[in-house]
Amino acid sequence: MQRRDFLVTSALGTAGLAAGNTPGGVPEAESAEAEPQGRATRKILIAGGGFNTAFIRYMAQLTGKRRPKMCYLPTASADSQPGTITFFKNCAPLDVEPSAQNSFIASTAQALGWDEVFLNVDAIVVSGGNTLNQQAIWKAQGIDVVLRQAWDRGIVLGGASAGSLCWFEEGTTDSRPKELTVVQCLGFLKGSHSPHYDAEPGRRPLYQRLIGNGTMKPGYACDNDAGIYFEDNEVKRLVSTRAAAKVYYVSIEGGRVVEKVLEPERIA
Protein backbone atom coordinates (compact mmCIF):
# COMPACT_ATOMS: atom_id res chain seq x y z
CA MET A 1 0.00 0.00 0.00
CA GLN A 2 1.40 3.42 -0.93
CA ARG A 3 1.63 6.33 1.46
CA ARG A 4 -1.17 8.26 -0.25
CA ASP A 5 -3.56 5.47 0.76
CA PHE A 6 -2.82 6.17 4.41
CA LEU A 7 -3.41 9.91 4.17
CA VAL A 8 -6.70 9.88 2.35
CA THR A 9 -9.49 11.51 4.32
CA SER A 10 -12.72 9.75 5.13
CA ALA A 11 -15.81 10.37 3.03
CA LEU A 12 -17.16 12.41 5.90
CA GLY A 13 -13.97 14.43 6.15
CA THR A 14 -13.83 14.99 2.40
CA ALA A 15 -17.39 16.25 2.32
CA GLY A 16 -16.67 18.62 5.19
CA LEU A 17 -13.56 19.98 3.52
CA ALA A 18 -15.39 20.55 0.26
CA ALA A 19 -17.93 22.64 2.13
CA GLY A 20 -15.25 24.57 4.01
CA ASN A 21 -16.08 22.76 7.24
CA THR A 22 -14.53 20.09 9.37
CA PRO A 23 -16.39 16.76 9.72
CA GLY A 24 -19.72 16.97 11.49
CA GLY A 25 -20.39 20.53 10.35
CA VAL A 26 -17.91 22.13 12.74
CA PRO A 27 -17.08 25.62 11.42
CA GLU A 28 -13.48 25.76 10.23
CA ALA A 29 -12.94 29.13 11.91
CA GLU A 30 -13.71 27.45 15.21
CA SER A 31 -11.11 24.73 14.82
CA ALA A 32 -8.32 26.19 12.70
CA GLU A 33 -6.19 29.30 12.49
CA ALA A 34 -4.20 30.83 9.63
CA GLU A 35 -0.87 29.07 9.27
CA PRO A 36 2.30 30.37 7.61
CA GLN A 37 3.30 28.61 4.43
CA GLY A 38 6.45 26.57 4.03
CA ARG A 39 6.28 24.83 7.41
CA ALA A 40 5.93 21.10 8.00
CA THR A 41 2.42 19.71 8.37
CA ARG A 42 1.68 19.36 12.08
CA LYS A 43 0.13 15.97 12.91
CA ILE A 44 -1.65 14.56 15.96
CA LEU A 45 -3.42 11.19 16.22
CA ILE A 46 -5.54 10.61 19.32
CA ALA A 47 -7.82 7.91 20.72
CA GLY A 48 -10.30 8.03 23.59
CA GLY A 49 -8.67 4.93 25.04
CA GLY A 50 -6.75 1.92 23.76
CA PHE A 51 -3.79 3.14 21.69
CA ASN A 52 -3.02 -0.37 20.52
CA THR A 53 -1.06 -1.87 17.63
CA ALA A 54 -3.58 -0.65 15.03
CA PHE A 55 -3.23 2.97 16.17
CA ILE A 56 0.55 2.70 16.38
CA ARG A 57 0.62 1.20 12.87
CA TYR A 58 -1.45 4.10 11.51
CA MET A 59 0.74 6.58 13.35
CA ALA A 60 3.84 5.00 11.83
CA GLN A 61 2.28 5.31 8.38
CA LEU A 62 1.60 8.99 8.98
CA THR A 63 5.32 9.63 9.42
CA GLY A 64 5.98 8.63 5.82
CA LYS A 65 9.16 6.84 6.91
CA ARG A 66 10.08 3.27 5.98
CA ARG A 67 11.12 2.31 9.52
CA PRO A 68 10.03 5.19 11.75
CA LYS A 69 11.47 5.88 15.18
CA MET A 70 8.58 5.69 17.69
CA CYS A 71 9.23 7.11 21.17
CA TYR A 72 6.97 6.32 24.14
CA LEU A 73 6.59 9.05 26.78
CA PRO A 74 4.98 7.63 29.95
CA THR A 75 5.06 10.71 32.20
CA ALA A 76 1.35 10.48 33.07
CA SER A 77 1.78 6.93 34.34
CA ALA A 78 4.82 7.88 36.45
CA ASP A 79 7.02 6.01 33.97
CA SER A 80 5.14 2.77 34.60
CA GLN A 81 7.27 -0.18 33.53
CA PRO A 82 4.27 -2.41 32.66
CA GLY A 83 2.94 0.33 30.38
CA THR A 84 6.28 0.62 28.64
CA ILE A 85 6.45 -3.13 28.16
CA THR A 86 2.95 -3.08 26.66
CA PHE A 87 4.05 -0.37 24.22
CA PHE A 88 6.98 -2.50 23.05
CA LYS A 89 4.69 -5.52 22.68
CA ASN A 90 2.28 -3.45 20.58
CA CYS A 91 5.19 -2.37 18.37
CA ALA A 92 6.55 -5.91 17.97
CA PRO A 93 4.48 -6.81 14.85
CA LEU A 94 5.42 -3.55 13.13
CA ASP A 95 8.43 -2.40 11.15
CA VAL A 96 9.27 0.41 13.57
CA GLU A 97 12.13 1.34 15.87
CA PRO A 98 10.56 1.72 19.35
CA SER A 99 12.08 3.50 22.32
CA ALA A 100 10.88 4.93 25.63
CA GLN A 101 11.86 8.12 27.44
CA ASN A 102 11.19 8.41 31.15
CA SER A 103 10.61 11.76 32.85
CA PHE A 104 11.69 10.68 36.32
CA ILE A 105 15.41 10.79 35.60
CA ALA A 106 18.79 11.74 37.07
CA SER A 107 21.37 13.76 35.17
CA THR A 108 23.98 11.14 36.02
CA ALA A 109 22.05 8.61 33.94
CA GLN A 110 20.40 10.86 31.33
CA ALA A 111 23.07 11.86 28.81
CA LEU A 112 20.76 13.49 26.24
CA GLY A 113 18.67 16.62 26.58
CA TRP A 114 14.93 16.54 25.93
CA ASP A 115 15.46 18.21 22.55
CA GLU A 116 18.08 15.64 21.58
CA VAL A 117 15.61 12.86 22.35
CA PHE A 118 12.26 14.14 21.07
CA LEU A 119 13.46 16.04 18.00
CA ASN A 120 15.30 13.00 16.68
CA VAL A 121 12.35 10.62 16.40
CA ASP A 122 9.52 10.41 13.88
CA ALA A 123 6.60 9.96 16.30
CA ILE A 124 5.89 10.36 20.02
CA VAL A 125 3.25 8.23 21.76
CA VAL A 126 2.12 9.66 25.10
CA SER A 127 0.79 7.29 27.75
CA GLY A 128 -2.43 7.43 29.70
CA GLY A 129 -2.47 8.24 33.39
CA ASN A 130 -2.70 11.42 35.46
CA THR A 131 -2.98 14.37 33.08
CA LEU A 132 -2.63 17.03 35.79
CA ASN A 133 0.66 15.58 37.02
CA GLN A 134 1.84 15.07 33.44
CA GLN A 135 1.30 18.74 32.60
CA ALA A 136 3.04 19.93 35.76
CA ILE A 137 6.09 17.74 35.13
CA TRP A 138 6.32 18.68 31.46
CA LYS A 139 6.24 22.39 32.31
CA ALA A 140 8.78 22.02 35.12
CA GLN A 141 11.14 20.06 32.85
CA GLY A 142 10.58 22.13 29.71
CA ILE A 143 9.27 19.07 27.87
CA ASP A 144 6.18 21.06 26.82
CA VAL A 145 8.37 23.48 24.85
CA VAL A 146 10.21 20.65 23.08
CA LEU A 147 6.93 18.90 22.23
CA ARG A 148 5.75 22.11 20.58
CA GLN A 149 8.96 22.18 18.53
CA ALA A 150 8.40 18.55 17.57
CA TRP A 151 4.83 19.32 16.44
CA ASP A 152 6.02 22.29 14.39
CA ARG A 153 8.63 20.08 12.70
CA GLY A 154 6.05 17.52 11.59
CA ILE A 155 6.93 14.82 14.13
CA VAL A 156 3.69 12.89 14.66
CA LEU A 157 2.28 13.23 18.18
CA GLY A 158 -0.45 11.16 19.78
CA GLY A 159 -1.80 8.84 22.40
CA ALA A 160 -4.95 7.90 24.29
CA SER A 161 -6.58 9.11 27.51
CA ALA A 162 -4.03 11.50 29.07
CA GLY A 163 -2.16 10.98 25.81
CA SER A 164 -5.10 12.45 23.86
CA LEU A 165 -6.27 15.07 26.35
CA CYS A 166 -2.84 16.66 26.73
CA TRP A 167 -2.83 18.23 23.24
CA PHE A 168 -6.05 20.26 23.67
CA GLU A 169 -6.63 23.53 25.48
CA GLU A 170 -8.70 21.85 28.19
CA GLY A 171 -10.76 18.82 29.05
CA THR A 172 -12.20 16.58 31.73
CA THR A 173 -9.86 14.57 33.93
CA ASP A 174 -9.90 12.10 36.82
CA SER A 175 -6.52 13.43 38.01
CA ARG A 176 -7.85 14.94 41.25
CA PRO A 177 -9.52 13.30 44.27
CA LYS A 178 -13.25 12.54 44.52
CA GLU A 179 -14.61 13.69 41.15
CA LEU A 180 -13.96 14.48 37.50
CA THR A 181 -12.71 18.04 37.04
CA VAL A 182 -11.32 20.41 34.39
CA VAL A 183 -7.65 20.39 33.43
CA GLN A 184 -5.79 22.95 31.31
CA CYS A 185 -3.39 21.42 28.79
CA LEU A 186 -0.91 22.33 26.04
CA GLY A 187 -3.37 23.97 23.66
CA PHE A 188 -1.87 22.68 20.42
CA LEU A 189 -5.40 21.65 19.41
CA LYS A 190 -8.05 24.31 19.94
CA GLY A 191 -11.09 23.61 22.08
CA SER A 192 -11.78 20.85 24.58
CA HIS A 193 -11.68 17.07 24.75
CA SER A 194 -13.20 14.19 26.68
CA PRO A 195 -11.64 10.71 26.43
CA HIS A 196 -13.32 7.48 27.60
CA TYR A 197 -16.72 8.86 26.53
CA ASP A 198 -18.45 5.49 26.50
CA ALA A 199 -16.35 3.70 29.10
CA GLU A 200 -16.77 5.89 32.20
CA PRO A 201 -20.38 6.88 33.08
CA GLY A 202 -19.55 10.34 34.45
CA ARG A 203 -17.77 11.59 31.35
CA ARG A 204 -20.67 12.34 29.00
CA PRO A 205 -22.98 14.26 31.40
CA LEU A 206 -20.13 16.32 32.85
CA TYR A 207 -18.70 17.22 29.45
CA GLN A 208 -22.08 18.34 28.17
CA ARG A 209 -22.83 20.29 31.34
CA LEU A 210 -19.50 22.15 31.29
CA ILE A 211 -19.92 23.09 27.63
CA GLY A 212 -23.57 23.99 28.19
CA ASN A 213 -22.85 26.43 31.03
CA GLY A 214 -19.87 27.99 29.27
CA THR A 215 -17.23 26.63 31.65
CA MET A 216 -15.58 24.68 28.84
CA LYS A 217 -15.14 25.36 25.14
CA PRO A 218 -16.86 23.13 22.55
CA GLY A 219 -14.81 20.17 21.44
CA TYR A 220 -14.39 16.51 20.61
CA ALA A 221 -15.19 13.43 22.68
CA CYS A 222 -13.95 9.95 21.78
CA ASP A 223 -15.15 6.54 22.85
CA ASN A 224 -12.48 4.02 23.76
CA ASP A 225 -11.04 2.54 20.54
CA ALA A 226 -12.11 5.57 18.47
CA GLY A 227 -9.94 8.49 17.49
CA ILE A 228 -9.18 11.50 15.35
CA TYR A 229 -6.28 12.40 13.10
CA PHE A 230 -5.61 16.15 12.97
CA GLU A 231 -3.42 18.09 10.59
CA ASP A 232 -2.74 21.42 12.27
CA ASN A 233 -6.21 22.04 13.77
CA GLU A 234 -8.19 20.40 10.99
CA VAL A 235 -9.83 17.00 11.34
CA LYS A 236 -8.53 14.86 8.49
CA ARG A 237 -9.77 11.40 9.42
CA LEU A 238 -11.92 9.64 12.02
CA VAL A 239 -10.78 6.11 12.88
CA SER A 240 -11.68 3.22 15.17
CA THR A 241 -10.69 -0.33 15.97
CA ARG A 242 -14.14 -1.37 17.23
CA ALA A 243 -17.43 -1.24 15.34
CA ALA A 244 -19.45 0.47 18.08
CA ALA A 245 -16.83 3.11 18.91
CA LYS A 246 -17.73 6.68 17.87
CA VAL A 247 -16.39 10.21 17.84
CA TYR A 248 -18.53 13.19 18.86
CA TYR A 249 -18.50 16.95 18.48
CA VAL A 250 -20.21 18.72 21.38
CA SER A 251 -21.18 22.37 21.04
CA ILE A 252 -23.92 24.94 21.66
CA GLU A 253 -26.58 25.60 19.03
CA GLY A 254 -29.52 27.87 19.72
CA GLY A 255 -28.66 27.96 23.39
CA ARG A 256 -28.74 24.15 23.69
CA VAL A 257 -26.03 21.53 23.97
CA VAL A 258 -25.81 19.51 20.76
CA GLU A 259 -23.86 16.26 20.48
CA LYS A 260 -23.09 15.32 16.87
CA VAL A 261 -22.10 11.71 16.29
CA LEU A 262 -19.22 11.33 13.83
CA GLU A 263 -18.81 7.88 12.25
CA PRO A 264 -15.17 6.72 12.03
CA GLU A 265 -13.50 4.34 9.61
CA ARG A 266 -12.18 1.02 10.85
CA ILE A 267 -8.42 0.53 10.93
CA ALA A 268 -6.52 -2.65 11.73
Measured in degrees and rounded to the nearest 5, phi and psi for residue 131 equal -65, -40
- Candidate list 77, 103, 193, 196, residue with the active-site label: 196
Question: Is the CA virtual torsion 46, 47, 48, 52 positive or negative?
Answer: negative
123 in Cβ contact with 71 (< 8 Å): yes
196 is catalytic: yes
Question: 230 in the Ramachandran plot: left (φ > 0), alpha (ψ -120 to 50) or beta?
Answer: beta
Exposure string over 23-37, b if 16+ CB within 10 A, otherwise e: bbebebebbbeeeee
Of 31, 77, 127, 161, catalytic: 161
Beta bridge partners of residue 40, listed in sequence order: none
Q: Is 193 a catalytic residue?
A: no
Catalytic residue IDs: 161, 196
